[in-house]
Structure 1
């Protein structure tokens, strides 16, 4: 049975009062705080869209130059049959490429952390590979894989691997040594300590690289499709551009942005489920 902090009386049902104790009220307060943090974003987006709509409508801007938000919404609704199918293809390529990029990036980062020889030999090559423009690499993948989906998955994975690998090795290198010392003193092997202790401590930083990769996978897949594919958002964008239909170009862009936002939400949710809220890892004595 819970005790009210002010009245010092038991609270029936085990629920807590609104004075700060855990319970339904605390959950509501946390939800309210999260909502308040989102208010500036919602207001900024509303002001941006409202100003955009007013500028195009009241300024009589040619729709061939800038499409109004309402025109973009109508374009999405009117072409969703083909646009949705293209988005499904690009979504599959980007998602699978993202998963490969995360898995390989973590493995490469662990290898760079564990072997200084491997780091000295491969890290510069890995960094140099990321400086290559996609437009110069895509033709090679077209030669190797043709116009099919696997080539786009490989391109997406290759260009998404670097941020995850870099953040993995940086996170592991930054883990305080006493974490390993405690685990080894308790009889854990070095491999167990690496996978169950050091990676857990470095997980927040690794997720930083995962988010960077998630922000670009669908754009990378769409660009690869634009340079050569049979289907997908890149082909859809190319057709919209060839027809000089500005609302359709904006429609495809909005869909890619929404897909990226959805993937980022999934990444953030997985981080919260696996690692818990970031506030839980703050030092409780930091303010003392």
Structure 2
């Protein structure tokens, strides 16, 4: 798909966003809705510009925590997924525990991390990594299990070892599905980091958001929210770009003989 076509595919989304913002602005203005309840988009934009000297550094802290935690989550998730795929014993022993760990709400786990790591930044990195690795691990297992056996058969017939086949053949074929798990993790990594900060930290968007809430400054709450959304969008764009650079366009994976 050409750049012009990709750009055109996002036009409906842009139109929908602009329309929703216009409706939102008109509803607040015409209905005289107090800004302490729902501020207008223009009020949120103005407030964001005014408080950026403090909002920007807070966003930088959360960005650091989220990105580092995300990278650890991807690395550990892929390694754990490979382990779950290669060893039935490891799978039977740890997959249920891994799944159970993801069912625990962050609010019940964060106090333990505060006890263990205090209010330091690396504690938030650990939380984001722990809560972010599960989708990557699961999609790694599912992707490897979905690889057709003939890929392995051809590689082994040509003299490749099983380890070489796993790392250079199966993981390459399963990479698209693994990227699906990476995108799921990227979609909520900054929200996880911000929530962990909200429950206890010295710096970051979570603490900044808590201060805005305590002072009943509703526009600033929306400012922090939209900042998290923007950070998440940028991370997802980076993930998509890395997939394209490493694996090429999606169409290149299509089997040319599939329709015959």
TM-score category (smaller protein) = over 0.9
**What corresponds to 2:89 in structure 1?**
117
User: What is the RMSD computed on CA atoms of the aligned residues?
Assistant: 0.9
Q: Write the mapping of 1:41-80 to structure 2, written as runs, cut at 5 A.
A: 41-80=13-52
Q: Does 1:105 align with 2:77?
A: yes
Of structures 1 and 2, the larger Rg is shown by: 1
**What corresponds to 1:83 in structure 2?**
55
Deviation at 1:35, TM superposition (A): 2.1
In the superposition, the TM-score normalised over structure 1's length comes to 0.89
Paired residue for 1:252, among 224, 233, 249? 224
Q: Secondary structure at the match of 1:103?
A: helix
**What corresponds to 1:176 in structure 2?**
148
**What corresponds to 1:226 in structure 2?**
198
**What corresponds to 1:216 in structure 2?**
188
| Whole-angstrom CA distance in 2 between matches of 1:82 and 1:174 | 48
Any stretches of 5+ residues in structure 1 without a counterpart? 1-28
Deviations 1:113-142 (A, max 9, x none): 000010000000000000000000000000
| Whole-angstrom CA distance in 2 between matches of 1:52 and 1:267 | 31
Deviation at 1:280, TM superposition (A): 1.3
Q: Write the mapping of 1:199-214 to structure 2, written as runs, cut at 5 A.
A: 199-214=171-186
**What corresponds to 2:101 in structure 1?**
129
Q: Secondary structure at the match of 1:284?
A: coil
Deviations 1:24-44 (A, max 9, x none): xxxxx8222212211111111
In the superposition, the TM-score normalised over structure 2's length comes to 0.98
Deviation at 1:77, TM superposition (A): 0.4
Higher relative contact order (CA 8 A, sep 6+): 2
**What corresponds to 1:22 in structure 2?**
none
Deviation at 1:287, TM superposition (A): 4.0
Count of equivalent residues: 260
**What corresponds to 1:240 in structure 2?**
212
| Whole-angstrom CA distance in 1 between matches of 2:32 and 2:62 | 35
Task: Give the structure with the larger helix fraction.
Answer: 2
